[in-house]
Amino acid sequence: MNEKPILLGVNGNGRMNGKLNGHHHSHNGSDHTSDIGDMHVATSIDTPLRKDAFDLSDEEKVAIIEEKFREILTTLGMDLTDDSLMGTPHRVAKMYVKEIFYGLNPDNKPKISVFDNKFKYKEMLVEKEIQVQSFCEHHFLPIVGRAHVGYVSNGVVIGLSKINRIVDYFARRPQVQERLTVQIANELKKALQTEDIAVVIDAKHMCVSCRGIQDDHSSTVTAEYSGKFNDRATREEFLKYIRL
């Protein structure tokens, strides 16, 4: 992990202003929003899971996915008796369940303990450059980038590494970047018992660089602001710290 957490003290008071939630795509001058727009549509804030999503154990899921992935490779014409390929179906199945999609299972949700804020003034805390490794639910290709989180303490604080763990937990699912941004913000609101939360994610989508438009340079920025971060001055302070 190449995380660079920073702490900043700043006065979070200010006039309320209009909302500026949303996202934009930066692309070296030109705009490919229409080309990649179809990949950024989520149907709901909640990850679409069935009620029976966790009736099977992890081990049962690994066994089923292994069998299905063997079928995929066989269908593609691969020779599964080759020493190099033999272990691939099991390796991929285990990776799906235990690593890259571990965040689907609520049992894996990080336990969050909060502390009293010893400083009694309202301060903005910013943790930036949090590693995001996720997978696009439309193409099952990686989304890799950085999350930047800000909050104004309501009297409680959480350990900085917990913010990384929350980001990672929600990232490790088949995702849509907007949904990931909102899910992280909502979890932080609950943990920190405040509405004063900002989450910005800047990420590259492999489904944009490896296929389709094959654009290697564009990144997608999504933002969720609430509470004091709807105030222009507070939001601009935050954006200045993360220097986007």
Q: Is 138 in the site for Zn ion (CB under 5 A)?
A: yes
Q: How far is the CB of 163 from Zn ion (least distance, A)?
A: 26
Q: Which of 100, 125, 130, 136 binds Zn ion (CB under 5 A)?
A: 136
39 binding Zn ion? (CB under 5 A): yes
For 27, half-sphere exposure in the C-beta direction (CA atoms, 13 angstrom radius) is 18
The Cα–Cα gap between 66 and 85 comes to 12
Beta carbon of residue 208, minimum distance to Zn ion (angstroms, whole number): 7
Minimum CB distance to Zn ion smaller for 202 or for 237: 202
Name which of 166 and 207 has its Cβ closer to Zn ion: 207
* Binding footprint of Zn ion, residue count (CB under 5 A): 5
Long-range pairs, 209-212, Cβ under 8 A, ≥24: 210/141, 211/139, 211/141, 212/35, 212/36
Residue nearest to Zn ion (CB): 207
147: contact with Zn ion by CB under 5 A: no
207 forms part of the interface with Zn ion (CB under 5 A): yes
Q: In whole angstroms, give the CA distance from residue 85 to residue 231.
A: 55
Stretch that binds Zn ion, among 29-37, 71-79, 104-112, 134-142 (CB under 5 A): 134-142
Say whether 15 sits in a helix, a strand or coil: coil
Q: Which of 136, 175, 183, 237 is catalytic?
A: 136
Which span sits near Zn ion by CB under 5 A: 4-12, 36-44, 77-85, 104-112?
Answer: 36-44
Is 136 tagged catalytic?
Answer: yes
Residue 159 identity: G
Residue span binding Zn ion (CB under 5 A) among the ranges 13-21, 70-78, 200-208, 234-242:
200-208
What is the dihedral angle through the alpha carbons of 60, 64, 66, 72, rounded to the nearest 10 degrees?
A: -170
Q: Is 24 among the residues known to form the active site? A: no
Are β-strands 124-136 and 197-205 bridged in parallel, bridged antiparallel, or unpaired?
Answer: unpaired
Residue 139 is a binding residue for Zn ion (CB under 5 A): yes
Among candidate residues 178, 207, 224, 237, the one labeled active-site is 207
- Which is closer to Zn ion, CB of 39 or CB of 149? 39
Check residue 155 and give left, alpha or beta (phi > 0: left; psi -120 to 50: alpha): left
The interface region with Zn ion, picked from 88-96, 99-107, 127-135, 202-210 by CB under 5 A, is 202-210
Which residue, chain included where needed, has tokens 């193409």? 139
Asked about 210 being catalytic, the answer comes back as no
For the question of residue 137 being annotated catalytic, the response is yes
- Residues at the interface with Zn ion (CB under 5 A): 39, 136, 138-139, 207
Active site residues: 136-139, 177, 205, 207
